[in-house]
Amino acid sequence: MTHTTTADRPQRSRSHRLIRELWFQVLLAAVLGIAVGILAPGFGEELAPLNDWFIALVKMIVIPVVFCVVTTGIASMDNLRKAGRIGVKAIGYFLVLSLVSMLIGLVVANVFQPGSGLRVDPSSLNADAVPGTATEHATLTGFVSSLIPGSLLGAITGDAILAALMVSIVFGVALNKAGEEGAPLTRGIRALSDVVFRIVGWVMRLAPLGTFGALATVVATYGAESLKQLAYLIVLFTATCVLYVLVVLGAIMRACRLSLFGLMRFLKAELLVALSTCSSEAVLPQLVRKLEILGIGRPVVGIVIPSGFSFNLDGSAVYLTMASLFLAQAMGIDLSWQQQLVMVGVMMLTSKGTAGIAGGAFIVLASTVTAVGHIPLAALSLIVGIDRILNEGRVFINVLGNAVATIVIGKWENDLDTEQARRVLRSAG
């Protein structure tokens, strides 16, 4: 009897540890949410506020995290040129990866022709089904305006990441230049950072509730029937996302001599939360902390992650070209390669102007359709119903892609402890 009790205790202990893991709680909540959405759709639709409340709590803490990490990172730099160098390298990397992602989506859509069998009559389309936000076209002046806050403190208390990033950089540079006179304030912000990350930990414990509400609502609202007609596009886009992760991000991680699967295991809780809530911002604070644990310097993490969540949206880039060609094929419109490349050029510009806008990828798609002029805007009504499903793949790649980007820039800047990163990734279970 003693032997049985002793043997059972480690098993019970392992189960207890598993239940306490955030990623397991999120996974369990996702399964329960899907079950509720299928078995009790009426109740499932009523659970939408759970996800809304969780996202609102995360957004409450995102800007303080950006301010603390960026400001203290730059203030503690010995050489301010490093900040500019990190920014330039990051933007260059983002532009290259965005272009590669769009071209991959273009090739896949041309080869597999996901919309060619629909033969949609343009007169049958309902333009009213296109959300009003799709008409909020991005402009260069609007983008620049989003960088300038109404006041210095307004950027820190607001919800615009780019404005907060700009103010944080300026504040960090000013503290750096102030030297010893600014040292007490730098120490105070560093102490504030510890408090802020403690709050982040508390908020992330609520992630299973947000996951449960999000998936219950999605399954209850859309169900299986609404997905049948567009199942090919969903499957093709999902397969493209998987191949993008394995081939493109896998090759980049191999070049850095680190394991992609180790990184995914290390970030499993963050990836699951992003996947289920369809929000990149939901994991930004925790991702910052995890990448610092991985051995990447705070200046690199502080600059690359906030800017990456605005500029380095690889999943959205794949979606934009695939969705555009799907709509053209469904309408029976044959776009030449020249027209397709012009479309990519327009997307490269407009996709940088929708940072912080809810449903940004859909707005960029609408902007491109209007600017190129070959596809009627009403065609967007064809994919409105599955945009939330497609957003799953977009968000997953956006989060993982930004983590990889931070590793690349960290290694490029010699601000990555490779041995520590290997130890952390090997121990990730």
What pLDDT digit, counting tens, does each position of 362-384 carry? 767 776 776 666 777 777 777 76
**Per-residue pLDDT at 102 exceeds 80:** yes
Average pLDDT over residues 205-231: 74
Asked if pLDDT for residue 255 goes beyond 80, the answer is: yes
Question: Which residue has better confidence, 131 or 183?
Answer: 183
Q: Which residue has the higher pLDDT, 349 or 241?
A: 241
The residue among 253, 273, 270, 271 whose CA lies nearest residue 421 is: 253
pLDDT in tens, 374-414: 777 777 777 766 777 777 778 888 899 999 999 999 999 99
Q: What is the pTM of this model?
A: 0.77
Higher pLDDT, 336 or 150: 336
CB neighbour list of residue 231: distance below 8 Å, 6 or more residues apart: none
Residue 221 pLDDT > 50, yes or no? yes
- pLDDT over threshold 90, residue 82: no
The CA R_g of the chain, rounded to the nearest whole Å, is 23
What are the residue ranges of helices labelled H in 244-336?
Answer: 250-255, 260-266, 268-277, 284-293, 298-311, 314-330
Instruction: Give me the pLDDT at residue 243, please.
Output: 93
Question: What span, in angstroms and rounded, lies between the C-alpha atoms of 24 and 17?
Answer: 10
52: pLDDT strictly greater than 90: no
Burial of 342 (0-12, 13-18, 19+ CB in 10 A): middle
pLDDT digits (tens, 9 = 90+) for 125-162: 555 555 544 445 555 566 667 677 777 777 777 767 77
| Segment 257-270, tens digit of pLDDT | 999 999 999 999 88
Query: Which of residues 137 and 215 earns the better pLDDT score?
Result: 215
* pLDDT, averaged across the chain: 80
* Spatial contact of 352 and 390, defined as CB atoms under 8 Å apart: no
Per-residue confidence band for 295, with pLDDT thresholds at 50, 70 and 90: very high
